[in-house]
Amino acid sequence: MERVKRHILFIAVSAAVIAADQVSKSVILNLVPLHETITVIPDFLNVVHFRNPGGAFGLFAAQSGFGLGMIFFIITLVALGLIIYLYKQTPAGERLLAAGLALVFGGAVGNLIDRLRFGNVVDFIDLYVKDYHWPAFNVADSAITLGIVIFAFYVIFRKMPA
């Protein structure tokens, strides 16, 4: 029964991330023109409409093109396979770890949908202090980051069986 609950949790968290990511991007696509900025909290938070052909946080964005897109597509498929493998290895009672893996899975699928639809990823959250801007990101990126933090916490601090 514990394993069934964990499967439901994994599916629900993944689906919620994908839905939140795609709905939020749809709002941006429909309401914010490309390269526009809307100040939400001065000197801290903007909503922007940016297209990222590169990797997380704009890595390799200058090297855009079909080849790079294929590389990111393949990397994403491998990552999804690895997440499923790690999830299957997760002990039945480890719900937090399962949720963390589901966050990464849902975020990866959310960004993969963008790459398949547009050839790039829609980013729209711009955090900054004065003139320092963190690279624009989206709900999927946030889920991936949180999931990796949970996974790292589990790996570093978990109790090993006696």
Instruction: Report the catalytic residues.
Output: 123, 141
Task: Tell me the chain's radius of gyration from C-alpha atoms.
Answer: 17
Q: What is the rounded CA–CA span in Å between residue 77 and residue 136?
A: 23
Q: What is the rounded CA–CA span in Å between residue 18 and residue 60?
A: 24
How is residue 59 annotated by DSSP?
Answer: T
Q: Are 73 and 113 in contact (CB under 8 A)?
A: no
Residues in contact with 112: Cβ distance below 8 Å, sequence separation at least 6, in sequence order: 73, 76, 80
Q: Is 157 exposed, middle or buried (0-12, 13-18, 19+ CB in 10 A)?
A: exposed
Tokens of 28: 């941006």
